[in-house]
Amino acid sequence: MKNLRVAAVQFEHVAGDKNANLAVIRRFVLEAARQGVELILFPECCITGYWFLTKLTRPQLEQLAEPVPDGESCQAVRQLSREYGMTIGAGLVEIDAGKAMYNSFFVAMPDGHYAVHRKLHSFESEFITAGDQYTVFDTPHGCRAAVLICYDNNIIENVRICALAGAELLLAPHQTGGCRSGSPFAMGLIDRQLWLRRREEPAAIEAELRGDKGRGWLMRWLPARAHDNGLFLVFSNGVGIDDDEVRTGNAMVLDPYGRIIAETWAAADAMVVADLDASLRERSTGARWLRARRPNLYGPLTVPTGREQDTRTVRFE
């Protein structure tokens, strides 16, 4: 792996307005280019909008969805990638030739190559199909990257499989924080008025974004994904109003020791930039743990317990 300058973005998307969201993406790409960024990550479904998807009929969702990579949105992202020599990742709803739809994340690379990840643990709509493949690929920046979307990152086996496939950098686009949760210590709804009054009372909304509904929850598990697998991790997220929830932002970049090297808790659209020091990976704890594995003992990991549930059930129970 080579050293790499990356950026993570949080922004408040407009539900269903792809042109408006692409304009925000372009604005951040321009700013990132001025700072010498080589790879920039935007949130899950940031092109199409996210939580309002739960309320769409199948015809409405089909109208919003696009083929990948030939749809207009992906082509716009590819053009930005070529124009600024930057790898750009952004999320949208994909539709394939058979009319199956996916919560997908598209990564355009300046050499013309691209990658697309279909969310493995999708729950946004009964009309969205879960993906069934891991997405690990080489970038033109001298590093091997993987993509896992939001809930995909919660399942520890997913991250480990990406690391075993040679990933050095995990791209983790999200729409999280401020969510309904069955656990009293995992997230929770944020009063919409706190967001609407964020300029008059910035301390009140910042406390929520940094507290247990946002950053506090992330800190219980996100650094472990980087640390335990010896990966750099770029976390992007929505911020602000997302249908009937308020996203908590906290865009950040972590090193292979699980340390945060750049972050924001701004109650606003924002970007953080970080330089990844490739020399940290080889002797990181997680990289050494990967070499100490005993795969002959791990057969039980592939045996169903009978307690498995569809993500839709687990998310809302």
Which of the residues are catalytic?
A: 44, 119, 150
Q: Which pair of tokens denotes residue 172?
A: 């983790």
Q: Are 146 and 116 in contact (CB under 8 A)?
A: no
21-24, Cβ contacts within 8 angstroms, sequence gap of 24 or more: 21/46, 21/47, 21/48, 21/49, 22/47, 22/73, 22/76, 22/77, 24/269
Q: Under a CB-based contact definition with an 8 Å cutoff, are residues 39 and 1 in contact?
A: no
Name, in order, each residue with C-beta under 8 angstroms of 109's C-beta and a sequence gap of 6 or more.
81, 87, 115, 139, 140
Alpha-carbon torsion angle 285, 286, 288, 289, nearest 10? 120
Tokens representing residue 252 in the block? 């950040």
Torsion angle, alpha carbons of 78, 139, 40, 132, to 10: 80
